[in-house]
Amino acid sequence: MRAEITNLMDAIAPQLQAVDELFEAELRSDLPCVNVLTRHVAKFRGKMLRPTLVLLAGKAAGTLAPAHITIATVVEMVHMATLVHDDVLDEADMRRRGATINHLKGNEAAVMLGDYLISHSYHLCSSLGDQSAARIIARTTNHVCEGELLQLHNRDNLDLDEETYITIVSRKTASLIAASCYLGARFGGADEAAAKALEKFGLSLGIAFQIQDDILDLVGEEREVGKTLGIDVAKRKLTLPIIHFLQHAPHEHQELCRSLLGEPHSLERIRNLITPSDSIAYAQAKARRLVERAKQSIANLPESDTKYTLLTMADFVVDRSR
Amino acid sequence: MRAEITNLMDAIAPQLQAVDELFEAELRSDLPCVNVLTRHVAKFRGKMLRPTLVLLAGKAAGTLAPAHITIATVVEMVHMATLVHDDVLDEADMRRRGATINHLKGNEAAVMLGDYLISHSYHLCSSLGDQSAARIIARTTNHVCEGELLQLHNRDNLDLDEETYITIVSRKTASLIAASCYLGARFGGADEAAAKALEKFGLSLGIAFQIQDDILDLVGEEREVGKTLGIDVAKRKLTLPIIHFLQHAPHEHQELCRSLLGEPHSLERIRNLITPSDSIAYAQAKARRLVERAKQSIANLPESDTKYTLLTMADFVVDRSR
């Protein structure tokens, strides 16, 4: 699967390269101490999922324009900003096999570097000809923050229900992925209906993506995933498998799980409790249904290599182990 | 002085009221937990210096338009975002006589709430007809972050020189005050020369304002100033009086001061060391010269009540005790 994805991506490799270059050029400062920090962020750039979706949605709906490179870079900067601030919130030490900024330079530098990234994303976005993209990006970051604040508010809430979890995930993760697809399509010349179809694709895909991330945080292999795992249970952030477990497992298992959440070094014991249950499978099935819904959203798009790539990527989101 | 300022402000009281209302309306969320946090921020809104300057610059250069209310609200949101994140960086407990967000709700909520404010400021700014204001606001926040990062980089640097201090202060504080004046003038119909004159006014005034803030942090009365004092010396952030003292005081006083910086509960001893020296007076004189330069920048503006208000405000910046 991974090899096929890599081959399919060849079609947008030059544009992704351009995004990389613009990302670096935009962040460059006349202050050396700032460049040291931004160079470190560049190291843990990862899947480029959001820029990829901007470009593929643009191609699927029409043709790529210079604005796509700008928008793809903007969404990647927004994403990196949320990662940097997320790591402060999570007190995470490792991200993409490297030390996090907060671990390396302290929380203060991480807070300010996240601000620097978000500021540059808006700066770049406001270089476009009209305000529409900037307005949509800023509305999206409003939602991202709301999702994060709702999640924070529900830390320690062991009665969190699935509906609230989906609200959190929709805002904090899926909204930016949906906006990437929508803006890619719009700037590719799509009409509102086609752009909305791609937005729906991104929204369902984004929720599925976060569910898979949360499954990996719980039962993934740290060496493979490449970042600190078990953060959700350590921070008593309930995710879908745990929410399901706390509602459906035998009563004494529920009680044991409740008592273990937030306890130091309890990840292994929680894993051993949950793995034999059907809660992981439940979350995986939910993610798979969302991927099917995502694919269904773009069924009406004309057939093309790009559409095939989007459909293949959608499957990959729930099949990945990192 | 304070009474005169209050009277002079009467001319823009309705607009400041509109800014207040727009500020609240824009931040309102469908999530109650978000509204609880933003209501708390509203409590420590303060002098409204930046919105006031947007409005006065607009009036001084031409006429006020609806865009002035938008821009004034945007710069106030940006300012509040920097305060909230500053308090995280400073681990401050008190701000405008109330508990800070980080003290009350934890660093995580403060980080995310600052992000929520900055996101909303860009969202509001991108509602304007063209991109120019958004572009200038985002360039300004780039500079604000650079100033903060440069300051962070120089924590513990007891050899910090005055030039670097002025660079820090220009970017982290004065750039937003300058942008407020520039945008106010531009949207009031000023030509580029008049807008640039007001920008220069704001830049000099902003540096003077921060020097005065730093003097108050060192030798102010906490009850009067209304926020945690002594943060700069506790965090070994060198400010102008200390920079001067470490270069000009008798050698043994310099050494004592160096050894006290960052020590717990050393504020009183540092005060006792610095007060008899001429380092406070040196910083005050520098701030006063900057205020004179600010006033000089707008000497060519036609005489008006608004211009008189700007000149009076400039004096007030260095005469205030809170």
In whole angstroms, give the CA distance from residue B216 to residue B232: 11
Whether residue A99 lies within 8 A of chain B, CB to CB, comes out as no
> Which residues in chain A have their CB less than 8 angstroms from residue B138's CB?
119-120, 122-123, 125-126
Whether residue A152 lies within 8 A of chain B, CB to CB, comes out as yes
Q: Residue A12 is encoded by which pair of tokens?
A: 């947008």
A contact test, residue of B88, B152, B237 with most A CBs within 10 A: B152
Query: For B148, which of A107, A112, A128 is closest by C-beta distance?
Result: A112
Mean pLDDT of chain A: 92
Which region among A210-219, B21-30, B88-97 has the lowest average model confidence (pLDDT)?
Answer: B88-97
In whole angstroms, give the CA distance from residue A224 to residue A218: 13
Whether residue A166 lies within 8 A of chain B, CB to CB, comes out as no
Q: Residue A78 is encoded by which pair of tokens?
A: 């927004």
Residue B57 has phi, psi (to 5 degrees) of: -65, -40
Residue B94, helix vs strand vs coil: strand
The pLDDT of residue B2 is above 70: no
Sign for the CA dihedral angle at A18, A28, A148, B141 comes to: negative
In whole angstroms, give the CA distance from residue A48 to residue A180: 12
Q: Judging by DSSP bridges, how do beta strands B94-95 and B98-99 pair with one another? A: antiparallel
> Which residues in chain A have their CB less than 8 angstroms from residue B237's CB?
none
- Read off the CATH number of the domain in which B279 is found: 1.10.600.10
Give the chain B residue whose CA is nearest to the CA of A143.
B116
| pLDDT mean over A294-300 | 97
Of chain B residues 126-145, which have a CB less than 8 A from chain A? Answer: 126-131, 134-135, 137-139, 141-142, 144-145
Q: What angle do CA B21, B213, B53 make, to 5 degrees?
A: 40
B contact test, residue of A84, A142, A157 with most B CBs within 10 A: A142
A23-41 burial: b if 16+ Cβ within 10 Å, else e: beebbebebeebeebbebb
Q: State the nearest Cα–Cα gap between B159 and chain A, in angstroms.
A: 17
The pLDDT of residue A77 is above 90: yes
Whether residue B29 lies within 8 A of chain A, CB to CB, comes out as yes
Whether residue A294 lies within 8 A of chain B, CB to CB, comes out as no
Mean pLDDT of chain B: 92
Please give the pLDDT value at position A206: 98
> Which residues in chain A have their CB less than 8 angstroms from residue B33's CB?
149-150, 153
Count: domains in chain A: 1
In whole angstroms, give the CA distance from residue B63 to residue B68: 10
Confidence band of B221 (pLDDT split at 50, 70, 90): confident
Q: What is the tens place of the pLDDT at every residue in B4-50? A: 777 778 889 999 999 999 999 999 999 999 999 998 887 777 789 99
The pLDDT of residue A75 is above 70: yes
Which region among A75-84, A230-239, B194-203, B207-216 has the lowest average model confidence (pLDDT)?
Answer: A230-239
The pLDDT of residue B126 is above 80: yes
| pLDDT mean over B96-113 | 79
Residues linked to residue A98 through DSSP beta bridges, in sequence order: A95
A contact test, residue of B102, B119, B166, B167 with most A CBs within 10 A: B119
For residues A100 and B175, which has the higher predicted lDDT (pLDDT)?
B175
> Which residues in chain A have their CB less than 8 angstroms from residue B125's CB?
138
Q: What is the tens place of the pLDDT at every residue in A247-291? A: 999 999 999 999 999 898 899 999 999 999 999 999 999 999 999
Please give the pLDDT value at position B96: 64
CB-based contacts of B84-88 (< 8 A; 24+ apart in sequence): B84/B41, B84/B110, B84/B113, B84/B114, B84/B117, B85/A111, B85/A112, B85/A115, B85/B110, B85/B111, B85/B114, B86/B148, B88/A107, B88/A108, B88/A111, B88/B114
Q: What is the tens place of the pLDDT at every residue in A34-71? A: 999 998 887 777 789 999 999 999 999 999 999 999 99
Please give the pLDDT value at position A88: 80
Query: Which residues, 6+ apart, have CB-to-CB distance to A140 below 8 Å?
Result: A78, A175, A176, A178, A179
> Which residues in chain B have their CB less than 8 angstroms from residue A29's CB?
146
Confidence band of B1 (pLDDT split at 50, 70, 90): low
Whether residue B183 lies within 8 A of chain A, CB to CB, comes out as no
> Which residues in chain B have their CB less than 8 angstroms from residue A122's CB?
122, 134, 137-138, 141
Query: Which residues, 6+ apart, have CB-to-CB distance to B230 below 8 Å?
Result: B217, B218, B267
**Where on the phi/psi map is residue B267: left (φ > 0), alpha (ψ -120 to 50), or beta?**
alpha
Please give the pLDDT value at position A1: 55
Please give the pLDDT value at position A319: 86
Whether residue A123 lies within 8 A of chain B, CB to CB, comes out as yes
| pLDDT mean over A69-98 | 86
Q: Is A115's CB within 8 Å of B148's CB?
A: yes
Which region among A98-112, B122-136, B170-184, B213-227 has the lowest average model confidence (pLDDT)?
Answer: A98-112
For residues B80 and B9, which has the higher predicted lDDT (pLDDT)?
B80
Confidence band of B222 (pLDDT split at 50, 70, 90): confident
> What pTM was estimated for this model as a whole?
0.94
Q: Which of A88, A90, A120 is nearest to A101 (CA)?
A: A88
Q: CA separation (Å) from B130 to A139, A278, B25, B126, B135?
A: 17, 54, 22, 8, 10
> Which residues in chain A have their CB less than 8 angstroms from residue B123's CB?
135, 138-139, 141-142
Query: For B149, which of A33, A139, A141 is closest by C-beta distance?
Result: A33
In whole angstroms, give the CA distance from residue B57 to residue B298: 10
Q: State the nearest Cα–Cα gap between A152 and chain B, in angstroms.
A: 7
Q: Residue A298 is encoded by which pair of tokens?
A: 């773009």
Whether residue A176 lies within 8 A of chain B, CB to CB, comes out as no
DSSP per-residue letters across A285-299: HHHHHHHHHHHHHTT
Among A213-227, B87-101, B131-145, B307-321, the range of highest mean pLDDT: B131-145
Where in the sequence is the domain holding B270, given as residue range(s)? Answer: 2-319
> Could you give the angle at which helices B66-90 and A107-125 cross, rounded to 10 degrees?
160
The pLDDT of residue A92 is above 80: no
Query: Which residues, 6+ apart, have CB-to-CB distance to B255 below 8 Å?
Result: none
Q: What is the tens place of the pLDDT at every residue in A21-33? A: 999 999 999 999 9
Whether residue A57 lies within 8 A of chain B, CB to CB, comes out as no
Q: State the nearest Cα–Cα gap between A36 and chain B, in angstroms.
A: 11
Q: What is the tens place of the pLDDT at every residue in A116-150? A: 999 999 999 999 988 999 999 999 999 999 999 99
